[in-house]
């Protein structure tokens, strides 16, 4: 056990090192002082033609600023004795029950990079050559990193984290300081020539690392020195290839599950020192570019009336150009009687400079109809110029060189689709069983040579025959078992369903086939803030399924895609494998990290780690092969809940078959 009182690293933390009497104001003034003192370094990084080792810009020398600012504040408030007291907080003290946390501080990042480098080696990236010279280079780099980390953490940990502890913000200070820390680095990252996706991934890594530092600091009895090895070893990724081989997406994906397992069990976000207080989530500045007012306690008062929210949809794709649009959600809670809401409307607009056009509307209305009927519907016009297609089966090859020269869209086809569907669900009395009936219409036209290419995989498979297209109209029936405690981000219960879809020429379709889907989703609470979520989907089809419909994965809520991409195996290329049989297994660990307020609404932040697996069969499911030849993806992400049901989702996933990918959207995967 740590001794009581306001101690820091075994020393009494001096009140004179606080800038003013208000802790929160002191933290903001400290961050502002660090910002102002960093301006000359940023100017040098922009104008001086000097580059440091590991391809770092000259502005990276701002590493000295946080510590020097903290010392200046201490001298200003308490003279030389105040500065010495601040420095003495770095004196390590081994105490009972803190040895394990020192091991966490020293070994976590080496272990993470060990996994990252192993994965890169498996992908054919030559990370290390085993030699004495390599060992000396690594040792010298670690020494430099330790010195730099000690100077920087004199400010972020010895000064700022200690002030946050005075207000009872540990370990939530990790989110606050992590947001400051990441934002402070953004300009040097761009000066080093990194892309936006690199900066986003590195920002997520930076925030997670600071959260870990602050929690280790508290668990090790407020020993500021524990931050030094964590910070120093986090820079080891800059050593191989002089920094060119560092992959922040892959590193974040490996670090996220480790932090979730560690923090979810060892450290609930609300500390006993600050019970009942709520943090101002500055981390959202770097993660979601949203400004949050003062936090507010989450309330259980039923919501009434309408709520509106949304996010911009902006990205860049080499095939489709610059993309822009918006995804919106509107919730009508009515009188607050119908759960989870009376009606939900989710319109989406997305366009690209290369001609993609998506205009869709999703409707979910549990309370619109009488007698307990739940209405769902979708309507949309979608024009995709470069829809992926890699062939049918679980072992199709992908050769990137085929996309060079005259056939840049070899693994693509153009598709224009108009579709609409309606479903009705009815609960059987007071039981968790619901019956589903539905109908849908769809008209699809295919262009096998998008953008005037010379050849594509699908054109070669068709051998000159005209691509299938036309109407695909269907009927659906199903049965659903739902015992979730809530529909958005459940913590316990299950959601299972069996769905049967029939596409028939009698309904005006050009093809005739049957698709069945079994899905089971289960949620297990592992404590007050940690939830284990599991999803298993098995789907089969028989008949003449057109190639462009093989990627469809049925659901009683929203239709999804697979195998590969944001709704099936994150980190795998979108629709990388397709067939008449599909298996998807998703495992997620969800840690509810913080509760606060955004725009006056009770909100929360959830960190996730995930492992996705699955496979397909060309001609149908074979039960004897369920555990064979699986494809895997893994990673981590964040969920920002604003209000009761609106959730912004950010995931970073990677796999052995594709580079890391970033996904931004709405809601949970399941």
pLDDT in tens, 639-666: 988 877 888 888 888 888 888 888 878 8
- Mean of the per-residue pLDDT values for the chain? 81
% helix, strand, coil for the chain, step of 5: 35, 30, 35
Please tell me which residue, 102 or 263, carries the higher pLDDT value. 102
The residue length of the chain stands at: 670
End-to-end CA distance of the chain: 40
Report pLDDT for 301: 58
Return the structure tokens found at 349.
Answer: 């607009």
Q: Which helix (H) or strand (E) holds 491?
A: none
Predicted confidence (pLDDT) per residue in 263-315, tens digit = 554 444 333 333 333 333 333 333 333 333 223 333 455 667 787 777 766 66
User: Stretch 464-479: mean pLDDT, rounded?
Assistant: 92
At residue 64, φ and ψ (nearest 5 deg) are: -80, -15
At 213 the three-state DSSP class reads helix
Q: Minimal CA–CA distance to 544: which of 505, 573, 506?
A: 505
State what percent of residues in the chain have pLDDT above 90.
29
| Angstrom distance (rounded) from CA 415 to CA 411 | 13
Are 633 and 570 a contacting pair, CB within 8 Å? yes
The DSSP line for 158-183 is IIIIHHHHHTT-TTTHHHHHHHHHHH
Place of tokens 């699986």: 630
**Residue with tokens 């950010």, as numbered in its chain:** 650
pLDDT tens, residue by residue, 18-76: 444 455 556 777 888 888 888 888 888 877 767 677 678 888 889 999 989 888 888 88
pTM over 0.85: no
* Of residues 242, 196, 246, 188, the one with CA closest to residue 48: 188
CB 512 within 8 A of CB 504: yes
Enclosing H/E stretch for 88? helix 65-88
Report strand pairing: 51-52 vs 56-57.
antiparallel
| Number of CB atoms found within 10 A of residue 632's CB | 16
């Amino acid at each position: 056990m740590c001794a009581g009182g306001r101690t820091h690293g075994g020393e009494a933390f001096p009140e004179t090192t606080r800038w003013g009497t208000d802790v929160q104001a002191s933290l903001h003034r400290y961050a502002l002082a660090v910002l102002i003192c960093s301006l000359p370094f940023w100017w040098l990084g922009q104008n001086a033609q000097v580059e440091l080792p590991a391809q770092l810009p000259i502005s990276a020398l701002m590493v000295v600023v946080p510590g020097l600012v903290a010392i200046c504040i201490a001298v200003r408030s308490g003279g030389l004795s105040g500065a010495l007291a601040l420095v003495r907080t770095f004196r390590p003290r081994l105490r009972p029950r803190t040895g394990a946390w020192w091991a966490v501080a020293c070994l976590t990042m080496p272990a993470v990079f060990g996994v990252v480098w192993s994965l890169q080696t498996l992908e054919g990236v030559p990370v290390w050559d085993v030699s004495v010279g390599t060992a000396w280079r690594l040792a010298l780099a670690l020494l430099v990193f330790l010195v730099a980390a000690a100077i920087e953490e004199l400010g972020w940990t010895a000064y700022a984290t200690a002030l946050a502890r005075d207000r009872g913000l540990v370990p939530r200070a990790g989110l606050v300081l992590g947001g400051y820390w990441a934002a402070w680095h953004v300009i040097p990252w761009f000066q080093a020539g990194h892309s936006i996706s690199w900066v986003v991934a590195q920002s997520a890594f930076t925030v997670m690392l600071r959260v870990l530092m602050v929690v280790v600091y508290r668990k090790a009895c407020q020993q500021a020195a524990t931050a030094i090895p964590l910070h120093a070893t986090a820079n080891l990724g800059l050593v191989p290839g002089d920094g060119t081989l560092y992959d922040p997406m892959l590193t974040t994906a490996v670090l996220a599950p480790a932090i979730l397992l560690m923090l979810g069990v060892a450290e609930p976000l609300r500390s006993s020192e600050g019970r009942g207080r709520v943090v101002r989530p500055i981390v959202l500045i770097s993660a979601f570019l949203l400004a949050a007012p003062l936090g507010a306690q989450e309330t259980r008062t039923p919501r009434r009336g309408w709520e509106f929210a949304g996010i911009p949809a902006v990205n860049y794709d080499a095939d489709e150009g610059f993309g822009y649009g918006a995804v919106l959600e509107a919730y009508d809670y009515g009188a607050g009687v119908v759960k989870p809401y009376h009606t939900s409307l989710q319109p989406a607009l997305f366009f690209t400079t290369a001609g993609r056009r998506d205009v869709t509307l999703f409707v979910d209305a549990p309370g619109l109809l009488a007698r307990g009927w739940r209405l769902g519907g979708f309507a949309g016009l979608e024009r995709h110029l470069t829809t992926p297609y890699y062939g049918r089966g679980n072992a199709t090859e992908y050769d990137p060189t085929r996309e060079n020269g005259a056939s840049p869209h070899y693994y693509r086809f153009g598709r224009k689709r108009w579709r609409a569907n309606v479903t009705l669900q009815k609960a059987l009395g007071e039981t968790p069983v619901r019956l589903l009936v539905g109908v849908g219409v769809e008209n699809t036209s295919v262009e096998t040579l998008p953008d005037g290419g010379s050849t594509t995989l699908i054109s070669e498979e068709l051998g000159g025959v005209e691509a299938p297209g036309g109407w695909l109209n269907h009927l659906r029936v199903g049965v659903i078992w739902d015992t979730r405690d809530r529909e958005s981000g459940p913590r316990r219960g299950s959601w299972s369903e069996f769905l049967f879809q029939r596409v028939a020429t009698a309904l005006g379709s050009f093809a005739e086939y049957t698709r069945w889907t079994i899905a089971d989703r289960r949620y297990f609470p592992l404590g007050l803030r940690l939830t284990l979520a599991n999803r298993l989907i098995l789907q089969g089809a028989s008949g003449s399924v057109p190639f462009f419909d093989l990627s469809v994965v049925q659901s009683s809520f929203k239709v999804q895609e697979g195998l590969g991409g944001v709704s099936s195996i994150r980190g795998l290329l979108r629709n990388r494998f397709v067939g008449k049989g599909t298996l998807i297994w998703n495992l997620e660990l969800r840690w509810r990290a913080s509760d606060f307020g955004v725009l006056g609404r009770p909100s929360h932040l959830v960190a996730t780690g995930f492992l996705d697996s699955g496979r397909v069969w060309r001609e149908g499911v074979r039960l004897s092969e369920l555990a064979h030849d699986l494809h895997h993806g893994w990673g981590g992400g964040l969920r920002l809940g604003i209000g009761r049901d609106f959730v912004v989702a950010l995931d970073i996933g990677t796999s052995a078959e594709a580079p890391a990918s970033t996904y931004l959207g709405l809601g949970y995967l399941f």
